[in-house]
């Protein structure tokens, strides 16, 4: 019989974005896992001014990743915004660089709601019971997570705001879409290093305090904007 051979539907092009700041203990594992995932087409690593050797590890992956080197630390929001801008994907997914047990199954599960379903946001969730996680949950609600997936076009109008938010970028992202557009994805077995695992107690305390301040600032901005409507 005549006719043309059907072209397989390869699905949307997906970019994984990894913001990195001094994560040499775990970043190689995160990047290697993303490289092994069939759900990811491009990996954009944004080194946010690391000074601990993370950048040398990233350079070792060569052309298998897109490496963005920021000379000065811009904070998490700035790194994510830069990664989104540089990405080529229709879908962008965020993965923290301090994950210890990230697997290809976790990656596939996070992306499935956008690859296979109608969701506009996929929000990864794994249990955490530290005092810090409970404090953040009270301030922002339960949707505080570094593992997320979006359509890139939905985030482009918000890059300027994201770029100056630091860790408060989580609050901005949580406010962009309604709950019915968001699918929460359990990621069992996923664990990451806390700041207390990476730094001496005084340094970890200072970093937690700075992060809480950035999150609180965005919560206040959001509530003030809402009250003025």
pLDDT at 8 over 90: no
Cβ neighbours of residue 102 under 8 Å, at least 6 residues apart? 29, 30, 33, 34, 95, 190
DSSP 119-143: -SEEEEE----SHHHHHHHHHH-S-
Answer with the residue of higher pLDDT: 70 or 144.
Answer: 70
pLDDT tens, residue by residue, 63-92: 999 999 999 999 999 999 999 999 999 999
Instruction: Inform me whether the pLDDT recorded for 98 exceeds 90.
Output: yes
The per-residue pLDDT for 5 is: 40
Helix (H, G, I), strand (E, B) or coil at 180: helix
In the predicted structure, residue 27 carries a pLDDT above the cut 90: yes
Say if residue 139's pLDDT is above 70: no
Judged against a pLDDT cut of 90, whether residue 219 lies above it is answered with no
Residue 202 C-alpha from the chain's centroid: 26
| 10, 39 Cβ separation under 8 angstroms | no
182 phi and psi angles, rounded to 5 deg: -110, 130
The alpha carbons of the chain give a radius of gyration, in whole angstroms, of: 18
Q: Is pLDDT at 61 greater than 70 in this prediction?
A: yes
| Domain ranges within the chain, ordered by starting residue | 14-227
Largest CA distance in the chain: 74
pLDDT digits (tens, 9 = 90+) for 191-213: 877 655 565 566 556 665 656 66
Greater pLDDT, 195 or 144: 144
Class of the 14-227 domain? alpha beta
Structure tokens of 64? 């298998």
């Amino acid at each position: 019989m005549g006719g043309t051979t059907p072209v397989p539907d390869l699905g949307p092009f997906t970019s994984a974005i990894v913001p990195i700041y001094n994560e040499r203990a775990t970043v190689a594992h995160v990047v290697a896992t993303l490289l092994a995932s069939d759900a990811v087409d491009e990996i954009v690593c944004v080194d946010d001014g690391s000074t601990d050797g993370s950048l040398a590890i990233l350079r070792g992956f060569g052309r298998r990743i897109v490496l963005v080197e920021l000379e000065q630390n811009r904070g998490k929001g700035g790194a994510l915004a830069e990664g989104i801008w540089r990405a080529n994907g229709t879908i962008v997914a965020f993965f923290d660089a301090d994950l210890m047990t990230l697997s290809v199954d976790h990656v596939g599960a996070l992306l499935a709601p956008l690859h296979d379903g109608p969701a506009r946001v996929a929000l990864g969730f794994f249990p955490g019971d530290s005092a810090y996680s409970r404090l953040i949950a009270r301030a922002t609600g339960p949707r505080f997570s570094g593992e997320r997936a979006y359509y890139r076009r939905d985030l482009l109008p918000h890059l300027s705001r994201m770029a100056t938010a630091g860790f408060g970028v989580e609050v901005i992202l949580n406010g962009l879409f309604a709950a019915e557009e968001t699918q929460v994805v359990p990621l069992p077995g996923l664990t990451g290093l806390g700041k207390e695992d990476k730094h001496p107690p005084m340094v970890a305390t200072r970093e937690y305090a700075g992060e809480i301040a950035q999150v609180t600032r965005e919560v206040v901005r959001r509530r003030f904007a809402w009250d003025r409507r």
